[in-house]
Amino acid sequence: MTPTPAVADEPIVRLRHPWRWLAAILILIVLAQIVVYVATTDAFRLDLVAQYFFDQRVLNGVVTTLQLTVLAMLVGVVGGVVLAVMRMSDNGVLRAVAGGFVWVFRGTPVLVQLYLWFYLGTVLPKVTLGVPFGPTLFTASTSDLISPLTAGILGLGLNEAAYMAEIVRGGINSVDRGQSEAAEALGLTPGQTFRRVVLPQAARVIVPPTGNEVITMLKLSSLVTIIGMTDLLGAVQQISARNLQTFPLFEVAALWYLLITSILTVGQGMLERRFARGHRGVGSTLQLAGA
């Protein structure tokens, strides 16, 4: 019989982290103090916050903010795809125009752009559609065409398009050349190849940062109050201008923005999983049979 070697099975003493514990306790104490302060300080007027949270004017403001976000993002995404395609085109004029667009719209503050769109009527009183140097087909006054809403959508959307162009371009470049070659070798036209093969795969790369852009847009859209739109921020400003309960009403706005961005964050996670389709680590039918 060979002697069994002694098994090293003494109890293990884990490394202790006293500083972590201390830091955590301190932070919890500070948080508790804040909560108690908010709950016991009348100036926060939590009763008013609850009351105005579902005020019709605030709800209308929320709807306007959501509309503006969706429409501006729509302009941004479509514009971004168009700009990205233009920037990768063989046509030098298209490339230059797209580059110039991105240069201008990323090089100026969106706040300034909003003002410029809003006051466009002062330099361009009439918008005319017709044959260049030929007959006119359609004329309208700019101030009729550019309402605060259109100015907001154009200002936010075109600025967004300049940023989306880079995101879309990165996504398209991430798709292997072999994918479009295979599609073209099968006899798909360049348009079909782009829409059915390249773009859906680029989406996997485009969607996550676009989700961030939506969340940023939701918050950025509050800038339109300066051109007189009654979005969520505009609504609470108007109410507080009358009742002078400024802090509680901005609390209402902050809570609404936070609620919507939280929902968007959850939705973003779900979308990302959906677009990861066909890539390693997803799909429930994984069977790597040798066959």
Partner 1 sequence: MTGAGRVAAPMVEARGVRKSFGRHEVLKGINLTVPTGSVVSLLGPSGSGKSTFLRCINHLETIDGGEIDVAGRLVGYRRQNGKKYELKPAEIAAARRDVGMVFQRFNLFNHLTALENITLAPVLAKGVPKDAAAERARQLLSDVGLADFGGHYPSQLSGGQQQRVAIARALAMDPKLMLFDEPTSALDPELVGDVLDVMRRLAEQGMTMIVVTHEIGFAREVCDSVVFIDDGVVVEEGPPAQVLGNPVHARTRAFLSKVL
**Residue count at the site for partner 1 (CB under 8 A)?**
30
* Smallest distance, partner 1 to C-beta of residue 32, A: 49
Q: Which of 105, 255, 221, 232 is nearest to 166 (CA)?
A: 105
* Smallest distance, partner 1 to C-beta of residue 281, A: 9
Q: Out of 17, 196, 273, 274, which residue is the one contacting partner 1 (CB under 8 A)?
A: 196
Q: Out of 128, 141, 174, 189, which residue is the one contacting partner 1 (CB under 8 A)?
A: 189
* Smallest distance, partner 1 to C-beta of residue 57, A: 45
Stretch that binds partner 1, among 53-61, 128-136, 184-192, 262-270 (CB under 8 A): 184-192
User: Which residue's CB is nearer to partner 1, number 155 or number 171?
Assistant: 171
Stretch that binds partner 1, among 3-11, 38-46, 134-142, 272-280 (CB under 8 A): 272-280
* Smallest distance, partner 1 to C-beta of residue 80, A: 20
Q: Out of 184, 194, 216, 219, which residue is the one contacting partner 1 (CB under 8 A)?
A: 184
Residues that bind partner 1 (CB under 8 A): 176, 178-179, 181-190, 192, 196-197, 200-201, 204, 277-280, 283, 285-288, 290-291
